[in-house]
């Protein structure tokens, strides 16, 4: 029993944080939101070089994995920097395509960042189908690789998530695919991303209320402000152990609990962040919007609160 990240894992997080800080991700997010994927693909390659996608890919196919704990560590950082693109979906694709006939064909490209993959949500859209080189559509009779051009982009509340319907059919890759296992990994990655989004929102809001002065004092000295931030901090810090516990066990119910809790904490933090920034936080132009809108989108992606609770109640923790 030693439920703590070790020095290597913390160093991995720190190196990703440094790399992403230097990459000016807000500008990349703005490009991506306009459908210009050039800077986003360049960043994608650097993330792949850091080994992130390889964490879901076994060594024999060019990866380092599976390393779900390190994957969670990495995705917290991706969320913290609001990195755009179908990140969790690419992880899910690596799991869906992880069996012997398909793995050799697809996994090396995913691990190396040459391919960007998206996966259609059941009955829903695929995120960033216009940017993805692999568009996977799980169907009742098997897993399809969509070959038609993705449908017109529908706007998400988060402008950086470009939602595209996938045309039915395409190349039938396998009559059966490990969809449940892939969903578990996607949920884990989404939970981690959400935690990172929440942590970034908290950091930015703490910085804001320390420097914003009203009535002659920093607004962060007011108890009404402090207590909202204390609650946000507490919610995020209790989501963290659920996330890493889920990464250790990979039990669907634990992952669902982590997903629900991290997304709820991130969303509540977003509400607090918006409120404490006042009107400036309500503008599209101000950078806070990148995280605010992401928090809401991830909240319903890959497992609504209701679906997550259902798993917890039926399977237990």
Member of 32, 244, 291, 302 binding another protein (CB under 8 A): 244
Kindly tell me which of 95 and 257 has the beta carbon lying closer to another protein.
257
Structural contact between residues 183 and 92, judged by C-beta atoms closer than 8 angstroms: yes
Coil, helix or strand for 164? strand
12 binds another protein (CB under 8 A): yes
Is the link from the previous residue into 173 a cis peptide, with omega within 30 of 0? no
x/- track of binding to another protein for residues 29-58 (CB under 8 A): ---------------------xx-------
Q: Which two tokens stand for residue 44?
A: 């994608």
Kindly tell me which of 87 and 225 has the beta carbon lying closer to another protein.
225
Structural contact between residues 186 and 89, judged by C-beta atoms closer than 8 angstroms: yes
Angstrom distance (rounded) from CA 187 to CA 255: 7
x/- track of binding to another protein for residues 113-132 (CB under 8 A): --------------------
In sequence order, what are the beta bridge partners of 52? none
CA 46 vs CA 37, 89, 118, 309: distances in Å: 14, 18, 19, 36
18 binds another protein (CB under 8 A): no
Site stretch for another protein (CB under 8 A), options 120-128, 172-180, 188-196, 213-221: 213-221
x/- track of binding to another protein for residues 57-86 (CB under 8 A): -------x--x-xx----------------
Query: Could you tell me the sign of the dihedral formed by the alpha carbons of 220, 223, 225, 226, in that order?
Result: positive
For the sheet with 171-174, list strands across it.
117-119, 134-139, 142-145, 171-174
Positions in the binding site for another protein (CB under 8 A): 1-9, 11-12, 50-51, 64, 67, 69-70, 202, 206, 209-210, 217-218, 220-223, 225-227, 229-231, 233-234, 237-242, 244-245, 247-249, 254, 257, 260-261, 305, 309-310, 312-313, 316-317
């Amino acid at each position: 029993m030693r439920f703590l990240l070790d020095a290597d894992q913390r160093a991995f997080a720190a190196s990703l944080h440094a790399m992403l800080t230097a990459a000016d991700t807000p500008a990349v997010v703005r490009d991506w939101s306009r459908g210009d994927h050039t800077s986003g693909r360049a960043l994608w390659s650097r993330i792949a070089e850091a080994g992130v996608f390889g964490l879901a890919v076994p060594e024999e196919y060019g990866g380092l994995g599976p390393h779900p704990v390190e994957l969670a560590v990495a995705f917290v950082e991706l969320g913290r920097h609001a990195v755009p693109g179908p990140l969790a979906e690419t992880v899910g694709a690596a799991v869906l395509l992880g069996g012997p006939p398909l793995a050799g064909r697809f996994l090396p490209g995913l691990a190396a960042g040459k391919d960007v993959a998206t996966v259609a949500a059941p009955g829903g859209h695929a995120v960033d189908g216009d940017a993805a080189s692999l568009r996977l559509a799980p169907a009742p009779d098997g897993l399809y690789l969509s070959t038609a051009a993705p449908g017109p982009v529908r706007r998400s509340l988060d402008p950086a998530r470009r939602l595209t319907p996938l045309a039915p059919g395409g190349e039938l890759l396998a009559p059966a695919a490990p969809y449940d296992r892939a969903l578990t990994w996607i949920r884990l990655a989404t939970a981690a991303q959400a935690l990172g989004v929440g942590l970034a929102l908290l950091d930015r809001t703490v910085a804001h209320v320390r420097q914003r002065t009203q009535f002659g004092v920093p607004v962060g000295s007011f108890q009404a402000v402090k207590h909202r931030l204390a609650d946000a901090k507490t919610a995020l810090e209790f989501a963290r152990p659920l996330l890493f516990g889920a990464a250790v066990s990979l039990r669907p119910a634990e992952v669902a609990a982590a997903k629900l809790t991290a997304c709820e904490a991130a969303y509540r933090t977003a509400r607090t962040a918006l409120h404490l920034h006042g009107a400036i936080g309500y503008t599209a132009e101000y950078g806070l919007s990148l995280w605010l809108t992401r928090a809401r989108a991830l909240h319903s992606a890959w497992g609504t609160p209701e679906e997550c609770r259902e798993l917890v109640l039926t399977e237990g923790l």
